[in-house]
Amino acid sequence: MENNLIQNLTALKALPGSWDIFSFEQLVKDVSGGNKKTLKSDFLDKGEFVIVDQGQSLVAGYTNNRALLVKTPPPYIVFGDHTRALKYIDVPFAMGADGTKVLKSINDETVNGKYLYYFF
């Protein structure tokens, strides 16, 4: 099991020379910071915008408060750092509970956000 956690440099060197190799940090940025989180008590049953949290359901609730929307434009990969749930969200949304991480492709020309979602 320990070998699975160590990068296999021999295998990397065997890749075609025309392939680019990137670190995680070169491809993905965490855009969670600076966004307001929506308290569970403020979730609505219906509303203009979806609230996405780290739970298994795609949508946790709704809000009508535009100020709660994630500040960067979609698409997003939402990752629950406790549940390990992954979601691809391609509409503006509000963040739910603590533990929700919002990730984005740094450059869709280098690596497409939806591809990253499926890769994860």
Domains, the chain, ranges and CATH?
24-119 (3.90.220.20)
User: 66-96: string of b/e by CB count within 10 Å (b at 16+)?
Assistant: eebbbeeeebbbbbbeeeebebbbeebbbbb
> What pTM does this model have?
0.83
- Mean pLDDT on 46-73: 96
What is the per-residue pLDDT across 61-98, written as a single tens digit (0 to 9) for each?
999 999 999 999 999 999 998 889 999 999 999 999 78
Q: What is the band of 2 on the pLDDT scale with cuts at 50, 70, 90?
A: low
Q: Which of 70, 62, 63 is nearest to 36 (CA)?
A: 70
Query: Containing H/E element for 25?
Result: helix 24-27
Q: What is the band of 6 on the pLDDT scale with cuts at 50, 70, 90?
A: low
Q: What is the band of 1 on the pLDDT scale with cuts at 50, 70, 90?
A: very low
Cβ-Cβ contacts under 8 Å for 114 (sequence gap 6 or more):
75, 88
Strand partners, 77: 88, 103
